[in-house]
Chains A and B, each alone.
Chain A
């Protein structure tokens, strides 16, 4: 564990925590414009988090320690996951930090405890949310693994840090197949952050909701932690896509100028991606639950295609 890594951990995590709520509001804003509304202020998510932090926490008498521990644990897990996705600069990390499989399974820990939270209070909504979340995340898993396996095939490494150094260090795209993988990664972002057509973050209708159903019992600062977890998870998934498809500007070595440039470039690129996600959401209707595996197959197809192209050339 060297000084560069500790600096990276502080800067990267700080930056992510700082800007992640912004993109939640930005996507809401884009969707509101698409529907002809004005939408919330860009800083609204920050106000919401601040407000929730001041509120008292209310627990159901049926709930157990899982409900009390999980929000803290989940935020911590996602913060550790941010170490795997360099945004400010690519550090020299200890062995294992940056490994894609560990990254994916850190996200799985978050899902595991979120789903247990949903079941904890014994509410029908929570159980429904957990059941749907776990079923759908099981079906998306092959797609995620194959997408990252395709990345490993193309870039010849299983470490996200090394992948980003390769893509950011090359003046032209490393391989045209990266564009194919990016389609899969985009769909993975949509699925993992619970957006249309998979889940509707703006609804509280029991027929449609997945993620919102699980957090119905949460309140106060626990809810704030969960919302923040969600925002951070969204931004690191976006960062993976950005650093693979349009990595230019990401500092490979630690310099002050490089740091500032990386952050600014990232803000611009992430805003563009957020607008794209907002437009994508606005243009689609919610899919029926059991139509979703077909949607996932599309993402699977693009990454499998990449591996096939690599296999036969």
Chain B
């Protein structure tokens, strides 16, 4: 039965040719074909993942020799098939969207590069998920990091983007370094580079666990390693943000799950650590997002929040598993995986929508938008669907995954350990606060962006985007609703867990809407509604956009309530006209938001690293004989070491 494998080979070949095509033939048609190829590959993957998940067949791939003793192997099981499915549902929308979107890049070379790298990026993420051993995983992981880095640096001429690219480069290298350490320590323990069951007591797995948690946590954007997201997303093209946020973060989740699920006996503190990390990311992500007025940074922070929710689900799985509640553990795991899937859908939808809005207005600042629902009605509807899903309102998919996690929490009363229960109550309230703040966040984002009057001329002259960009958004939007309505069937097939039926709820809701409309339709005077001249405003003559609520104004109550978290610093300088300081001449005053993690964590570490490396660099004097001496000393030390210690 080689037919099934052929789908994967077909997808890989399509993506490779999609990478080279625009680089060889620099034309619009080549780019179009290239995105067509990525679309085709995602359809092939969709069929493949669907068959594997449905039949439970695990196709076998031959190994490729890579280095002596190190083979690259590909392997697929249900876990990787699930994540291939996740890639395959996000890519079609993004590739259709990109056909038009990529043409707005500044130069021909950039357009070709973007098309090629998009394919390479998708290919590398696919291969990471397909990798059957640690070697392949790390190789593809690096290709994934580097191709996404090049995409972040797409608009390399701007100073801000250079900084973002550098930040991303440092963080992603750090992530890879931790993964290397984690995998090497696992390799030393098991003597095998294959992914397989790890039957060792948790006490010897402490270091590998911590390394991998940090390594995957950096890539997934767990607080406090999250800072690269709000930098990298605004720099990258929107279609790439959709892929990075929708898929790449999930690839990190996949890697972490791959390790965690293979450990036969994890310890309770692992679960507690992941729970605390997840809850912190969730709450801080959404709180920072509320303060943000750059649409892409806001969405990036919201990704941090959602990754936090996924980690909460994973941690509940670990905790319930250890305590022996298999059903609850499965429910939590299913919730985490389904949330990863849902987040891939609605976040790619929102990033594509944001891309359309940025394309139409030419700015990323929410304060400059307003009234876009009249100018871009289709984009507005798609964005509303995304907002409703991410705000987890029933019966959309975003609600279902949060429902599963809430249910897991609510059923935790039989846990024997009271302290654990207290921890669960605290994190449950944090989780509830997070999901309520997420609703607030998306009321703000949708309301300020699309409703009322345009606040600037950028928004005033905005026009609807081309058709293909709308279709690209419509695909994930439709999937958001469908996967919500049919969630019960999906979860039952995938995990064997019973959850409330959203289809019934959705049908009742639609039926009730129809009845209410029928009942009220004919009441009131004939002639239909009247359009007045203006919004009522206490007798003002004409409404002006400056009277509208702004993004900052909208989130002001939240900022005041959580002022302990947004630490601000007020500084002022004054210049006086006289020497005694009594006649004020000029001055500046500023309110500065302290970037806590950046200033208190990243900067000190960076300073320490640069201090150490400044000492190390003294050893580099550029003379060959000095370097030969270093080599000689190193060899000698190694010989002595192996003679006496090894």
Interface residues of A (CB under 8 A from B): 1, 53-66, 68, 72-73, 75-77, 79-80, 83, 94-97, 99-102, 105-106, 108-109, 111-112, 115-116, 119-128, 130-132, 134-142, 144-146, 148-149, 152-153, 156, 158, 216-217, 220-221, 225, 289-290, 293, 300, 304, 307-308, 310-312
Contact with A along B362-405 (1 / 0, CB 8 A): 00000000110110000000000000100111100001000100
Contact residues in A for B529 (Cβ distance below 8 Å): 56-59, 68, 220
CB distance from A303 to the nearest CB of B (A): 9
Chain A, Cβ-Cβ closest to B501: A96
8 A Cβ contacts from B512-545 to A: 512-513, 515-517, 520, 523-525, 527-537, 543, 545
Contact residues in A for B448 (Cβ distance below 8 Å): 119
Of the residues A59, A122, A137, contact of B531 by C-beta under 8 Å: A59
Main secondary structure on B side of the interface with A: helix
Contact residues in A for B442 (Cβ distance below 8 Å): 112
Stretch at the interface among B317-325, B408-416, B587-595: B408-416
Contact residues in A for B555 (Cβ distance below 8 Å): 131, 135
Chain B, Cβ-Cβ closest to A158: B410
Chain B, Cβ-Cβ closest to A94: B504
User: Is there an interface contact between A112 and B388, defined as CB atoms closer than 8 Å?
Assistant: yes
A64-B374, A72-B517 known; 16 new pairs, CB 8 Å cut-off, are A53-B523, A56-B527, A57-B528, A95-B498, A123-B543, A124-B537, A124-B547, A130-B554, A135-B558, A142-B432, A145-B429, A220-B529, A221-B524, A308-B422, A311-B418, A311-B425
Q: Name which of A66, A99, A101, A158 has the most chain B CB atoms within 10 A of its CB.
A: A101
Contact residues in A for B560 (Cβ distance below 8 Å): 290
Contact residues in B for A65 (Cβ distance below 8 Å): 373
Q: How far is the CA of A59 from the CA of B528 in the complex (A)?
A: 11
User: Is there an interface contact between B413 and A108, defined as CB atoms closer than 8 Å?
Assistant: no
Stretch at the interface among B39-47, B108-116, B433-441: B433-441
User: Is there an interface contact between B549 and A130, defined as CB atoms closer than 8 Å?
Assistant: yes
- The size class of the interface chain B forms with chain A is 35 or more
Q: How far is the CA of A57 from the CA of B439 in the complex (A)?
A: 29
A sample of 14 inter-chain contacts (CB < 8 A) reads: A53-B524, A63-B535, A72-B517, A75-B516, A94-B501, A96-B499, A112-B442, A122-B547, A124-B537, A124-B547, A140-B436, A142-B436, A146-B429, A311-B418
8 A Cβ contacts from B542-587 to A: 543, 545, 547-549, 553-558, 560-561
8 A Cβ contacts from B420-434 to A: 421-422, 425, 428-433
> Does B444 sit within 8 A of A, measured CB to CB?
yes
Q: How far is the CA of A310 from the CA of B409 in the complex (A)?
A: 15
CB distance from B407 to the nearest CB of A (A): 6
Contact residues in A for B500 (Cβ distance below 8 Å): 95-97, 99, 102
Contact residues in A for B437 (Cβ distance below 8 Å): 138
Contact residues in B for A152 (Cβ distance below 8 Å): 410-411, 413
User: Is there an interface contact between B549 and A119, defined as CB atoms closer than 8 Å?
Assistant: yes
Q: Given the known inter-chain contacts A76-B509, A111-B439, A141-B435, please indicate yes or no for A62 contacting B549, CB distance below 8 A.
A: no
User: Is there an interface contact between B447 and A130, defined as CB atoms closer than 8 Å?
Assistant: yes
Q: How far is the CA of A130 from the CA of B555 in the complex (A)?
A: 10
Q: How far is the CA of A83 from the CA of B513 in the complex (A)?
A: 14
> Does B452 sit within 8 A of A, measured CB to CB?
yes
Chain B, Cβ-Cβ closest to A64: B373
Contact residues in B for A140 (Cβ distance below 8 Å): 436
Q: Given the known inter-chain contacts A293-B561, A311-B421, please indicate yes or no for A112 contacting B439, CB distance below 8 A.
A: yes
User: Is there an interface contact between B512 and A156, defined as CB atoms closer than 8 Å?
Assistant: no
User: Is there an interface contact between A153 and B413, defined as CB atoms closer than 8 Å?
Assistant: yes
Q: How far is the CA of A308 from the CA of B545 in the complex (A)?
A: 50
User: Is there an interface contact between B451 and A122, defined as CB atoms closer than 8 Å?
Assistant: yes
User: Is there an interface contact between A122 and B525, defined as CB atoms closer than 8 Å?
Assistant: no
Contact residues in A for B557 (Cβ distance below 8 Å): 131-132, 135-136, 289-290
User: Is there an interface contact between B504 and A97, defined as CB atoms closer than 8 Å?
Assistant: yes
Contact residues in B for A115 (Cβ distance below 8 Å): 443, 447
CB distance from A257 to the nearest CB of B (A): 29
Q: Name which of A112, A134, A307 has the most chain B CB atoms within 10 A of its CB.
A: A134
CB distance from A221 to the nearest CB of B (A): 5
Contact residues in B for A83 (Cβ distance below 8 Å): 508
Q: How far is the CA of A147 from the CA of B558 in the complex (A)?
A: 22
User: Is there an interface contact between A121 and B452, defined as CB atoms closer than 8 Å?
Assistant: yes
User: Is there an interface contact between A121 and B425, defined as CB atoms closer than 8 Å?
Assistant: no
User: Is there an interface contact between B443 and A134, defined as CB atoms closer than 8 Å?
Assistant: yes
Chain B, Cβ-Cβ closest to A9: B508
User: Is there an interface contact between A142 and B433, defined as CB atoms closer than 8 Å?
Assistant: yes
Q: How far is the CA of A91 from the CA of B354 in the complex (A)?
A: 46
Of the residues A68, A144, A221, contact of B523 by C-beta under 8 Å: A221
Contact residues in A for B499 (Cβ distance below 8 Å): 96
User: Is there an interface contact between A119 and B452, defined as CB atoms closer than 8 Å?
Assistant: yes
User: Is there an interface contact between A61 and B407, defined as CB atoms closer than 8 Å?
Assistant: no
Of the residues B394, B403, B452, B498, contact of A62 by C-beta under 8 Å: B452
Q: Given the known inter-chain contacts A53-B524, A54-B524, A97-B505, please indicate yes or no for A127 contacting B553, CB distance below 8 A.
A: yes
Contact residues in B for A142 (Cβ distance below 8 Å): 429-430, 432-433, 436
User: Is there an interface contact between B504 and A217, defined as CB atoms closer than 8 Å?
Assistant: no
> Does B352 sit within 8 A of A, measured CB to CB?
no
Contact residues in A for B422 (Cβ distance below 8 Å): 308, 311
CB distance from B393 to the nearest CB of A (A): 5
